[in-house]
Amino acid sequence: MAGVNDLVLVYVDHRPAFYARIEELRPDVKKGWYQVELLVLTLPPQLVTWILDEDQINGQDFTMGGRPMRLALVPRKPPPAPEPEPAPEGKPGKVIPLPRKS
């Protein structure tokens, strides 16, 4: 499940609309629902609270006022690529010169 400090892209009417950071997740009085406090990254930033269930927090479509909405988690920085393995010792690699253009 998306959590506190995660960045989400909010889709409105099936189009990307704005980014937001999840500031807080609190259980709602209704079982299985959460009060999701979002810092909407606009100028100026806005703090909003939406009541969503776990599936909606994790990217399931929902509606607000009849408009389709969706949260998409923005992945964090990908892990670094693995280091290439060193060439085996012994016979060195072959250098192939490229032909020059005149």
3-state secondary structure (DSSP) of residue 86: coil
| pLDDT, position 28 | 97
**pLDDT tens readout for residues 1-55:** 789 999 999 999 999 999 999 999 999 999 999 999 999 999 999 999 999 999 9
* Prediction pTM value: 0.72
Residue 43 CA to chain centroid, in angstroms?
20
What one-character DSSP code corresponds to residue 69?
Answer: E
